[in-house]
Amino acid sequence: MSVIISGELKAEVKNLNFYYGDVHALRDINLPIERRKVSALIGPSGCGKTTFLRCFNRMHDLYPHNRYEGKIILHPDNINIILPEIDPIEIRMQISMVFQKPNPFPKSIYENVAYGLRVRGINKRQLLDEKVEKSLRGAALWDEVKDRLHNLAFDLSGGQQQRLCIARALATDPRILLFDEPTSALDPTATSKIEELIVELKNEVTIIIVTHNMQQAARVSDYTAFMYLGEIIEFDKTDKIFTAPSNRLTEEYITGRFG
């Protein structure tokens, strides 16, 4: 599969299996993730794409009986991030997640963005100010909120709240940004802002996005993986997947004739 990718790899998934107790949710996943590109995961509900995305920042560790097998290698350090001895908190600083619904903390705009830094023990005002501004600018939100940084985050619109969550994720200088259907709760204007932002952000950070909206995958991603029943059925450059996929299941899914 790595023949498809010409550039430098940021991560590599090797023979990943995942179990929710007895349920074998991910089966022998192999996937290269190119640095500073957008990789999209698509597939019908229940195919395992969110489960897969959550492996990248060890979200499954929160529940007992969940079990990982195989490797998710993070480059260039060459560490397997799903090993139990690797601290999930540290992983989540480096691999941040933006969720389906905007979920700001019940704090000010400023404190939402500063939160991850404070967890890391950074409390110097000047440094926090710089980071907060840089992250809000990175999330294309600065101009809209710079005069009311200490207002409650809930005062923002849905689209602004989602960009705030992106700013919060950016504050810890992550290497990979995970998006789990980041626009499914947003209107078309807010959606297109987030999509523009994703394309913009890949100059700085590697992105993996789960989306139900196939046109969104087509618009924002460089690579697309089609998943079904816990497996990756096809992985290729996005333009290839959307013009001439190789697998019949992929074709049926993306043309809306699945099942």
Partner 1 sequence: MATIFDRELGKLKEKVLIMGTMVETAIRDAVASLVERNSELARKVIEKDYKINALDVEIDEECIRLLALRQPRAGDLRFITTAMKITTDLERMGDLAEDIAERAIELNEEPMLKPYIDIPRMAEISQGMLIDALDALIKGDTNLATDVIKRDDEVDKLNLQVFNELLFFMIQDPTNVSRATRITYISKYLERIADHATNIAEMVIYLVEGKIVRHITIE
Nearest distance from C-beta of residue 244 to partner 1, angstroms: 3
Nearer to partner 1, 9 or 249 (CB): 249
CB 212 within 8 A of CB 40: no
Alpha-carbon torsion angle 247, 252, 184, 81, nearest 10: -20
Residues in the chain: 259
Give how far the C-alpha of residue 161 lies from the chain's centroid of Cα atoms, to the nearest Å: 17
If the CB atoms of residues 204 and 251 are measured against partner 1, the closer one turns out to be 251
CA diameter of the chain:
56
Cβ-based nearer residue to partner 1, 68 or 226: 226
Output the smallest distance, CB 259 to partner 1, in A: 12
Q: How many angstroms separate the CA atoms of 13 and 225, rounded? A: 13
Give CA–CA dist 151/114, Å, rounded: 14
Least distance in angstroms from the C-beta of 39 to partner 1:
18
Which residues bind to partner 1, rule: CB under 8 A? 214-215, 218, 241-245, 250-251, 254-257
**Residue 239 CB, nearest approach to partner 1 (Å):** 11
Shortest separation between residue 228's beta carbon and partner 1, angstroms: 15
Cβ proximity to partner 1: between 128 and 254 the closer is 254
Contacts of 59 (CB under 8 A, 6+ apart): 97
Nearer to partner 1, 123 or 255 (CB): 255
Beta strands in the chain (DSSP E): 9-20, 23-34, 38-42, 66-74, 79-80, 95-98, 176-180, 206-210, 223-228, 231-237
Nearer Cβ to partner 1 (65/248): 248
Query: What is the smallest separation between the CB atom of 209 and partner 1, expressed in angstroms?
Result: 18
Bridge partners of 208, per DSSP, are: 39, 178
> What is the closest distance, in whole angstroms, from the C-beta atom of residue 197 to partner 1 in the complex?
22
- Evaluate whether 131 touches 170 at the Cβ level (below 8 Å): no
Which C-beta is closer to partner 1: that of 103 or that of 192? 192
